[in-house]
Amino acid sequence: MRHNGGCHCGAIEVTFESAIAPEAMEVRACQCSFCRKHASLAVSDPAGHLRITLRDPTAVQRYRFGLSTADYFLCRRCGVYVAAILEEAGQHYAIVIVNALEEAGRFSQPPLAADYSHEDEAARRRRRRERWTPAVIEAP
Ligand SMILES: [Zn+2]
């Protein structure tokens, strides 16, 4: 299944592909201070694929905090938080934010509150490599 989405103004587009039905996909409510302020819900599928297309790269704000292992992609024009990306050895792994997807309402599993604050940097990178979606970032 293919899910399209992105920010509000069109500067950032995403296409999330997964064989898992959205109604069956785990939805995570990360409890970190950034995600709580956004009330963001995230999904990923390590067997899936995420394409992030930067239609206007100048509008993309990458934000890092804490252990600084991932880039949080926000649109600085319209304010939408779209995805978070880990880069390791030239590979990208990402989560996509449910509300940035056009069919957000189909991701209907009750959100799991996820607290990763106990992780050290190695554990955080390992979890993301194993659980996040392989991703590519394009700037056409
Ligand atoms: Zn935007």
Distance between Cα 121 and ligand 1 center (Å): 30
Cα 65 to middle of ligand 1, angstroms: 21
Q: Is residue 82 a contact partner of residue 48, using CB atoms and an 8 Å limit? A: no
Report the pLDDT averaged over residues 8-27.
Answer: 98
The Å distance, Cα 108 to ligand 1 centre, comes to 25
Higher pLDDT, 67 or 8: 8
Is the per-residue pLDDT at 78 higher than 90? Answer: yes
When pLDDT is averaged across residues 45-72 and rounded to a whole number, the result is 95
Q: How far is the CA of 61 from the centre of ligand 1 (A)?
A: 10
Question: What is the pLDDT confidence band of residue 140, given thresholds at 50, 70 and 90?
Answer: confident
Mean pLDDT of the chain: 95
Q: What per-residue confidence (pLDDT) applies to 74? A: 97
Q: Is 21 exposed, middle or buried (CB count within 10 Å of its CB: 0-12, 13-18, 19+)?
A: exposed
Every domain of the chain and the residues it spans: 2-138
Task: Kindly indicate the confidence band of residue 39, based on its pLDDT and cuts at 50, 70 and 90.
Answer: very high
Three-state secondary-structure class, residue 101:
strand
C-alpha count within 13 angstroms, C-beta hemisphere, residue 62:
11
- Residue 13: per-residue pLDDT: 98
118 C-alpha vs ligand 1 centroid, how far in Å? 33
DSSP 33-88: HHHHHHT--EE--TTSEEEEEESSGGGEEEE--TT--SEEEEETTT--EEEEEEEE
- Given pLDDT bands bounded at 50, 70 and 90, which one contains residue 126? very high
CATH number of this structure's domain 2-138:
2.170.150.70
The answer to which of 22-26, 82-86, 115-119 has the lowest mean pLDDT is 115-119
Round the CA-based radius of gyration of the chain to a whole number and report it: 14
- CA 97 to chain CA mean position, Å: 5
State in Å: Cα 77 to ligand 1 middle.
5
C-beta of residue 83 within 8 angstroms of C-beta of residue 97 = yes
Mean pLDDT of 58-70: 92
